[in-house]
Structure 1
Amino acid sequence: MKSFEFYDRFLMKAVEILTTVLMFVLVGLVFFQVLNRFILHIPAAWTEEMARYNFVWLSLFGSVIALKSGRHLSVDLVVQGIKSQKAQDWVKVMVALLVLVFSLILTWSGYHFTASNWTTHCEFGAFPLALIYAAVPVTGFLLLLVSLEQLARSVRDIVR
């Protein structure tokens, strides 16, 4: 699996670091909002909007990390109920293929949605909403890479 070395070493590490940074930014934004609203009595409405947008990117990047680490939502009971290891491997191939198809649809439709909203701006007009919507095709592409890796591993397990 040396072909996935760059992906594993650099790309996934970058996603993990970016997710950590987004988490700290989210905590900072919410803290700033609470401080302004309840202590200083000067609500900063922009922080709520920025926290929402940050949360979108954070949760979608979190889904990539969850899929990569095998912590995503799955029905282990079905796979564990299958006695044959070969059959379990085939189920893993089918799951990887389903995730691959979902990722392709997510990337494709997310790209078109993002491109069609490039002229729409956020509530405060600071930047185009396409920067927020871009989280969908970016996540779709990353999920695509993860599912390709998992598919390759599953096929390798069957061939062995």
Structure 2
Amino acid sequence: MRKSVDAILRWAIIAIFTVLVACVVWQVASRFIFGVPSTVTDELARFLFMWVALIGGAYTLGQGRHLAIDLLPMLLTGTRKLLLELLILALIMAFAGLVMIYGGTSLVLKTLASGQMTPSLQIPMGYVYGAIPFSGAVMIFYCLTFAGDLLSGKATETDTVSAGPLS
């Protein structure tokens, strides 16, 4: 299941980033070559950047390539290290659940209820903010799979939350 989620996210990030680059290139061309800046691609690029950053952050967590200060986990071994790794996962899940899913969903629903639309694209602003709870859900998915690997003994001493992906 995790490999499927990895593949889907990887291709989604590639697709979003490709469209983002095309928007920025068109924005530069329309501004400097044609003298008429494109407001649609400017707005679309901003929103795509939000999506690629949030999804990319979740994907990076899943690959174990996120920024981490791993001094303490490197000093510990055995049960203490396992408990610390589980605590780290619990804190990440708490943040993702409370801030990203709960807060993000609240933001999406309030924005959709208010009827706020984007200026150029005229799409509901709630769709733009949908990246927040989506990324939070992906982060929780990865944390749960990592916790399962830790508890089942599938993770080795070097495959920890702070050292890299759990395979």
Normalization by structure 2: what TM-score? 0.85
Distance 1:51 1:71 in 2: 25
Corresponding residue for residue 65 of structure 2: 71
Which residue is 2:163 aligned to?
none
Answer yes or no: is 1:140 the counterpart of 2:133. no
- Alignment match, 2:96: 103
Q: Unpaired runs of 5+ in structure 1?
A: 1-5
Indicate the residue corresponding to 2:150 in structure 1: 154
Deviation at 1:129, TM superposition (A): 0.3
Structure 1 residue 24 displacement after superposition? 0.5
Does structure 1 residue 30 correspond to structure 2 residue 24?
yes
Residue 47 of structure 1: CA displacement?
Answer: 1.2
Q: Structure 2 regions of 5+ residues with no counterpart?
A: 157-167
In 1: Cα distance, 2:20 partner to 2:148 partner: 35
What is the aligned-residue identity percentage? 22
**Map of 1:9 onto structure 2:** 3
1:107–1:140: 8 Å Cα contact kept in structure 2? Answer: yes
Corresponding residue SS for 1:96:
helix
Deviation at 1:125, TM superposition (A): 5.2
Q: Relative contact order (alpha carbons < 8 A, sep ≥ 6): 1 or 2 greater?
A: 2
Provide Cα deviations, 1:83-123, integer angstroms capped at 9, x if missing partner: x2332222111111111111211111111110110111011
Q: Comparing both structures, which one devotes a greater share of its residues to helix? A: 1
Alignment of 1:41-52 (within 5 A): 41-52=35-46
- Structure 1 segments of 4+ aligned residues over 4 angstroms from their partners: none
